[in-house]
Chain A
Amino acid sequence: MITSATIVDAAADHNLVPSEYFAHFERFGLWQLDALRQVGLMPHHSLLDVGCGAMRLGIYAVPYLSDGLYCGVDAFEKYIELGEDLARLAHLPKRYHLLACEDFCFERFGVRFDFAIAQSVFTHLSVADTRRCIAATKKVMQPGARFLFTYLVGVPPTVGFLYAGVKPMRRLTIESDRFFADIAAEFGLTFEVPPISHPTQQVGLFKYP
């Protein structure tokens, strides 16, 4: 569909280096689609991709979903521009929606979603921003919707970092996945650890009432 050489070239065209994000583009894109299908995603469902990056999931999810049901949002505008390019190079057969936005503006899609995913997103957010993100999904998810996400437990020595060498970011610092159970209780959600393994992180699932 789209080769790794094409991805590296497109990234270079957008002043982005072939970081591990691009080096493992297909692997993690396909992992996300497979994980979502394991928790029930079907072609007729609408999907919110939080931290969609350069459409790493979108490249594979758009052909799977029905027309126009993929919505991706990312705080890094360059990724959104690159995602548009990669979608064009991949000749995606269906429509999709992308948004560059830093403040969890999921409502701007005007869609009530059946599924959401945040792969390696909470690993780049503070505790407060993770809470804000989950609160924002509450407003746009359908009753019975599911939100799959990945996370890391522990307090690393470096809690703030420069993403791609330029963008200040925080790491989530939690002692256990009890953090997500507490947030679920606060927002009236259910938290589960699904039987899905991830190459480097842990996997969680919120269910909306």
Chain B
Amino acid sequence: MSPLSLTDRQASSNDAELRRFSFEYLAIPDEDLARLRKELYHSSGAGYVIFPRFLDQDTVRHIQSIWPNIDPARTHKVFWSKLDMSAACSDFYTADIHGNRNFYNFVFNTPVDEVTWTASIFVHMLRNRLSGRPPFAETFPVSGRALSYRVVITRVSKSWVKPHRDYMQEPGSLDRNKYDLSRLQATLFLSEKGHDYTGTGLRFERNDGRSVVFGTDVPVKAGDLVIWRYNNLHSIEEVDAADGQLGFMRIIYPPEIMHPPRPYVDQSVVPAPPSLSVRAKTAGKRMAKATLDRLGLLQIAKQLLIRTRGK
């Protein structure tokens, strides 16, 4: 069927099958989301929904082949602070000696991988529709927050992310950054526990308060997408990957606050600040000096010190 004849048929028919190229259809009909929203938000629901095989195996293999192997220094800047995240920022990364890697990617930058980029925009659109937002809300840096599709490869970690709840800093606040019951997070699993890593991984508290571990209590495979309530307690616990194993690889989708642009400073080339022990020692000296001064004993203490040191 040529595109022209399809549009002709759409215009002349009430057949819903033929109305696929419509604003409403492309935005995912609200009615299709009712069962999923109940599972996410209702106290009787799990607080998460799984979309099995969101990515097919070819796509999974493709993404698995990209991120562990790129040279991040060529494509990303070293991540130092979220204050560097702005409408004009680059993508960022962290890497350590264990092989753990985080890639903080933004959809408004040229993608390292168009497959990851495209899949991420679809994930974000689905998450937006589920949480009652316009399909492309917070995709671009125009409304305070913008999507970051963060590719995370955890190979060795005791406690990668401590248990916490997001958008619950001040329950009851009118500031939506501090209190928002509608917020959802998404995890696109790109590896499988047992095959690619051992340990715990993503732990999540359901709406009924029961704690579950994905990959153990809740079966998930590489390519599965899990969308879950951001307010519920969650953590990333112990992960261990042997040589030759991929590690716990996934993509998460935090809408990051966009800050005013500021000059990027690579702090790895800036002289390191004094260590904690040096700073504590200096602060201790200052406090002791101030206390002695307040008591009128500073001069006596100085003379005593000179005498004992023989100066």
A residues whose Cβ falls under 8 Å from a Cβ of B: 5, 8-9, 11-13, 15-20, 22-24, 27, 158, 161-162, 164-166, 199-200
Interchain CA distance A147-B132 in the complex, whole Å: 31
Interchain CA distance A20-B179 in the complex, whole Å: 9
Report whether A18 and B181 are in contact in the complex, using a CB–CB cutoff of 8 Å.
Answer: yes
Report whether A20 and B134 are in contact in the complex, using a CB–CB cutoff of 8 Å.
Answer: no
Q: A16-B132, A165-B129, A166-B30 are in contact. Are A9 and B42 (CB under 8 A)?
A: yes
Q: Which residue of A lies closest to B43 (CB)?
A: A9
Report whether B41 and A17 are in contact in the complex, using a CB–CB cutoff of 8 Å.
Answer: yes
List B contacts of A23 (CB < 8 A).
179-182
Report whether A161 and B134 are in contact in the complex, using a CB–CB cutoff of 8 Å.
Answer: yes
- Total B residues in contact with A, Cβ cutoff 8 Å: 30
Decide if B34 is an interface residue (CB 8 Å cutoff): yes
List A contacts of B137 (CB < 8 A).
165
Q: A16-B132, A164-B132, A165-B128 are in contact. Are A8 and B181 (CB under 8 A)?
A: yes
What are 11 A-B interface contacts by the 8 Å CB criterion? A8-B43, A17-B182, A18-B41, A18-B181, A18-B182, A20-B174, A24-B174, A164-B132, A165-B129, A165-B132, A165-B137
B23 to chain A, nearest CB (A): 10
Q: Which residue of B lies closest to A10 (CB)?
A: B42
List B contacts of A9 (CB < 8 A).
41-44
Interchain CA distance A137-B207 in the complex, whole Å: 44
Q: Which residue of B lies closest to A158 (CB)?
A: B143
Interchain CA distance A54-B154 in the complex, whole Å: 45
Interchain CA distance A105-B168 in the complex, whole Å: 40
Q: Which residue of B lies closest to A164 (CB)?
A: B132
B205 to chain A, nearest CB (A): 15
> Nearest 6 pairs between A and B by C-beta?
A18-B181, A17-B132, A15-B34, A12-B42, A12-B41, A162-B134
Interchain CA distance A16-B180 in the complex, whole Å: 14
Chain A CB count within 10 A is highest, among B44, B134, B179, for B134
Interchain CA distance A22-B34 in the complex, whole Å: 17
Interchain CA distance A8-B182 in the complex, whole Å: 10
Decide if B176 is an interface residue (CB 8 Å cutoff): yes
Complex interface bits, B11-54 against A, C-beta within 8 A gives 1, otherwise 0:
00000000000000001001101100110111111000000000
Complex interface bits, B161-195 against A, C-beta within 8 A gives 1, otherwise 0:
00000000000101010011110000000000000
List B contacts of A162 (CB < 8 A).
134
List A contacts of B27 (CB < 8 A).
166
Interchain CA distance A12-B37 in the complex, whole Å: 6
List B contacts of A166 (CB < 8 A).
27, 30
Q: A24-B174, A161-B134, A165-B135 are in contact. Are A17 and B43 (CB under 8 A)?
A: no
A193 to chain B, nearest CB (A): 22
Report whether A17 and B37 are in contact in the complex, using a CB–CB cutoff of 8 Å.
Answer: yes
Which of these, A12, A22, A24, A165, contacts B133 with CB under 8 Å?
A165
Report whether A8 and B134 are in contact in the complex, using a CB–CB cutoff of 8 Å.
Answer: no
Interchain CA distance A199-B58 in the complex, whole Å: 52
Report whether A22 and B132 are in contact in the complex, using a CB–CB cutoff of 8 Å.
Answer: no
B181 to chain A, nearest CB (A): 4
Report whether A19 and B43 are in contact in the complex, using a CB–CB cutoff of 8 Å.
Answer: no
List B contacts of A27 (CB < 8 A).
172
A97 to chain B, nearest CB (A): 27
Known: A165-B133, A200-B174. 10 other contacts (CB 8 A): A8-B41, A8-B181, A9-B43, A11-B41, A12-B37, A12-B41, A15-B33, A17-B131, A23-B179, A161-B134
List B contacts of A11 (CB < 8 A).
41
Report whether B42 and A13 are in contact in the complex, using a CB–CB cutoff of 8 Å.
Answer: yes
Report whether A15 and B31 are in contact in the complex, using a CB–CB cutoff of 8 Å.
Answer: yes
Interchain CA distance A203-B190 in the complex, whole Å: 52
List A contacts of B130 (CB < 8 A).
17
Which of these, B33, B40, B182, contacts A19 with CB under 8 Å?
B182
List B contacts of A22 (CB < 8 A).
181
Report whether A165 and B134 are in contact in the complex, using a CB–CB cutoff of 8 Å.
Answer: yes
Q: Which residue of A lies closest to B33 (CB)?
A: A15
Within 8 A of A (CB), among B40-78: 40-45
List A contacts of B134 (CB < 8 A).
161-162, 165
Interchain CA distance A27-B38 in the complex, whole Å: 24
Report whether A5 and B132 are in contact in the complex, using a CB–CB cutoff of 8 Å.
Answer: no
Interchain CA distance A8-B132 in the complex, whole Å: 14
A80 to chain B, nearest CB (A): 16
Within 8 A of A (CB), among B131-151: 131-135, 137, 143
Interchain CA distance A101-B143 in the complex, whole Å: 31
B252 to chain A, nearest CB (A): 20
List A contacts of B174 (CB < 8 A).
20, 24, 199-200
B276 to chain A, nearest CB (A): 41
Report whether A15 and B181 are in contact in the complex, using a CB–CB cutoff of 8 Å.
Answer: no
Q: Which residue of A lies closest to B129 (CB)?
A: A165
A76 to chain B, nearest CB (A): 12
